[in-house]
């Protein structure tokens, strides 16, 4: 069994090597959620992360995070696999490399392991955090600068109980936290999901915008039958109704006059995937996630392809803590247009957070944290408390 943490060291070098990677530590943590979060393929009552700490030769430490949902059910990566890959392959390859040479670091990581995008994203995030702290600059500045300091943020309704979800949504609206809600469907039969959606739409029609996420649960025939009914309910966006492989089917659905706009998620991991979706006219928007795209640079590459194709941008999440959410916000802050906002409510669904000062949610927006790097500071006591033994 792997130990909770494993450290890879590199001897201190000359002043010219101050930005070299000296040490990488990967720790699995499990943080309970305030309620059940139910997807089509799994249900979550605690969220698991791999927290990556990268120390440079100058003594500065950067942090990053890799999130999964219920193990290797959403993608092939699990927190156990992420930590093992970092410890055995990625960390040894990166020791001694310049932290500020981000593209070179990415090439080194790609040579050490295929895919493993979440593991690589956590390491790259920690590099950006450490370099930003060293230079006194936010990570967004290292990506070209921020054009916004806050983003509209939605909340996901995913308990499966419409009475609880209606009450939860009204509480969020009253507190001016969220006015767009994403509803998870696919765990039940489509008729049951439609009945639940009908109740939610009626209860929230005058106060909120609704988005639906099927998490690949439908086949094309089912989607043809039920997408028009979602349009009748004024659903603003439908996320990944078909399996990720069926890009052609997404394109066929999108050409129908009775279909709501479609959001691509699991079918877009790389810039090449984004190009295939664009060529197939298979989406109106794309969900951007560090765990899919291998880091901040990869996320911006996918966004650039989408922008070139006229496809809208949406900030997706995997229930990240304030660490992972802050990393996403640093990447999103510099995008010219993020028409659909983001869903980085993750810190609010946790019973506790992992940083000393959590992200700020106010007036239906999540605010970019101030300060160098990611703008958040790891709480070592919380890390020890939630670390998996």
Phi (first) and psi of residue 174, to 5 degrees: -65, -35
Which among 175, 191, 171, 198 is positioned nearest to 183, based on CA atoms? 198
Interior angle at CA 142, CA 139 and CA 147, nearest 5: 80
**Which residue is it, tokens 């639940």?**
196
Residue pair 183/157 in contact by the 8 Å Cβ criterion: yes
Which among 63, 165, 117 is positioned nearest to 379, based on CA atoms? 63
Summary count for the chain: helices (H), strands (E):
15, 14
Measure CA of the first residue to CA of the last residue in the chain; give whole Å.
10
The set of catalytic residues is 184, 343
Which among 128, 25, 112 is positioned nearest to 373, based on CA atoms? 128
* Angstrom distance (rounded) from CA 64 to CA 91: 13
Q: How far is CA 355 from the centre of its chain?
A: 18
């Amino acid at each position: 069994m792997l130990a909770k943490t494993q450290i890879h060291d590199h001897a201190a070098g000359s002043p010219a090597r101050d930005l070299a990677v000296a040490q990488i530590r990967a720790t699995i943590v499990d943080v309970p959620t305030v309620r059940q979060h139910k997807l089509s393929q799994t249900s979550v009552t605690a969220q698991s992360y791999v927290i990556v700490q990268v120390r440079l030769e100058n003594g500065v430490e950067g942090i990053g995070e890799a999130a999964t949902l219920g193990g290797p059910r959403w993608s092939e990566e699990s927190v156990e696999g992420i930590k093992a890959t970092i410890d055995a392959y990625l960390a040894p390859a990166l020791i001694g490399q310049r932290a500020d040479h981000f593209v070179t670091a990415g090439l080194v990581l790609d040579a050490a392991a295929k895919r493993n995008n979440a593991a690589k994203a956590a390491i790259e995030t920690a590099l950006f955090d450490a370099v930003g702290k060293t230079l006194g600059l936010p990570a967004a500045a290292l990506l070209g600068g921020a054009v916004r300091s806050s983003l509209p943020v939605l909340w996901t309704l995913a308990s499966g109980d419409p009475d609880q979800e209606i009450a939860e949504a009204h509480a969020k609206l009253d507190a001016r936290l969220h006015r767009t809600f994403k509803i998870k469907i696919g765990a039940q039969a489509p008729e049951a999901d439609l009945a639940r959606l009908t109740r939610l739409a009626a209860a929230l029609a005058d106060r909120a915008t609704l988005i639906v996420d099927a998490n690949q649960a439908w086949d094309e025939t089912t989607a043809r039958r039920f997408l028009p009914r979602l349009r009748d309910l004024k659903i603003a966006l439908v996320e990944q109704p078909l399996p990720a492989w069926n890009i052609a089917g997404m394109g066929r659905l999108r050409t129908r006059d009775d279909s709501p706009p479609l959001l691509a998620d699991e079918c877009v991991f790389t810039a090449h995937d984004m190009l295939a979706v664009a060529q197939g006219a298979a989406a109106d928007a794309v969900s951007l996630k560090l765990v899919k795209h291998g880091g901040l640079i990869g996320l911006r590459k996918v966004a650039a392809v989408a922008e070139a194709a006229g496809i809208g941008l949406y900030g997706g999440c995997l229930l990240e803590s304030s660490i992972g959410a802050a990393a996403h916000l640093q990447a999103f802050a510099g995008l010219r247009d993020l028409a659909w906002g983001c869903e980085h409510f993750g810190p609010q669904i946790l019973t506790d957070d992992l940083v000393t000062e959590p992200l700020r949610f106010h007036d239906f927006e999540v605010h970019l944290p101030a300060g160098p790097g990611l703008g958040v500071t790891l709480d070592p006591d919380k890390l020890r408390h939630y670390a998996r033994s």
